[in-house]
Structure 1
């Protein structure tokens, strides 16, 4: 039995776009889709779903939110198995619990300021940090399609323990028939910086060569049916990966510590120009 793909909804525009992305992803992998609405509040005061339902923004009950989101997924892919569930709990706790029996969680990220934005940001960070399964946070100017292919394929960050992250990235690249760029950041220890006039050339080349060797070792077992590109870049990993996201359809990063995001993951989730997948060190196999 395949574990479902879970998408969290709250009636906002970003969460409805997440439904589209999640429906595509579920179809891509032959997974059932679970649309989850979690809130201690009976009604959601928002505009996006209210316009779709033709009701005042303060009069959209949970059942309507869930019904509209599930119907949206079914209309997008008529063959997709879609179920819906309302959980009377805080969104963070409900989604982390759902992740224990899910293949993936997909969340939308709002692009506007205000208290509601901070709440959703907290949900994304908490779920990405604590989930047992990979978590997708939709960032950037994506086109609502998991397999859009508008840019230059997938990017995966290669850190100290890349095995689980790479497994996930290979699976996604294969499903999309897209190239995968593996990125390894490197830095010269202070004061051995590339720009130092006293330390030009050789020190930088040594650190770059070491990074290239570590990248090659990590990719030793790369599958033959996935096109893999190698890229090393000088700079903090969080800046290198955020920059690489500008030309990517999907950015895959790892998470080693349970219930806490590292500095790299935290920064990338805020700065990425494309959807980001946070993969726990030992994600549940699909």
Structure 2
């Protein structure tokens, strides 16, 4: 099998694209699609074993990929990562600024340390990565950056620290889009709703309950797929988005539009697209794990 992208196979031929957080979830899917579309791909993350597994998957399908280990919260490591991309390929055309993380907790129970850890990863770390990509290459050569946001539009109970950091990324993206357009750099965000991925299996208790209840209040009546998020990212990286910068592309099944208290009585929702040939069902959805 091969990735079933809707985009033409040579879309990114000759272009170098870096995907942070490329060892799992959305980043893994994006890496597969970009490789299938001809990109000279580099994936980065903190866990070398995860990166190696994804690299093996991609290489087994006849594509090439390089891996770089990096903690995006470290300015030194991020600078070295971008230097590494340039040493390997001599250019950097696109950045998928995907690395991040959060945990489920009521706002009153989040410690300052826990709050700062999430903000440091999702916002400060993302800032460092895009700044270094700009400083070391894109300022003089142009490029496209896609940052990661989330479905934060009316708050995100249970993940308030993550919502705060993603809201900051929205503002940061708009500022960068204005400041960097003169260098030929486009900066946008993708804001996923609840997307079916291995990340679901990091939660327990109330977090699992929140995930399972999600489709009932979403107009699309389902979760999203990683392939749907990947397609949005690929579009924003592509020449078709040449006049789009400082914008956010929501991939959320209309979730914010279903939060007005009305009963969503429709039985059928919107059909899914899943072009990722290696996608799998999170463990929490397996029948034996339901209570």
Q: Normalised by the size of structure 1, how large is the TM-score? A: 0.37
Larger strand share, 1 or 2: 1
Greater Rg by CA = 1
Larger helix share, 1 or 2: 2
Q: Normalised by the size of structure 2, how large is the TM-score? A: 0.37
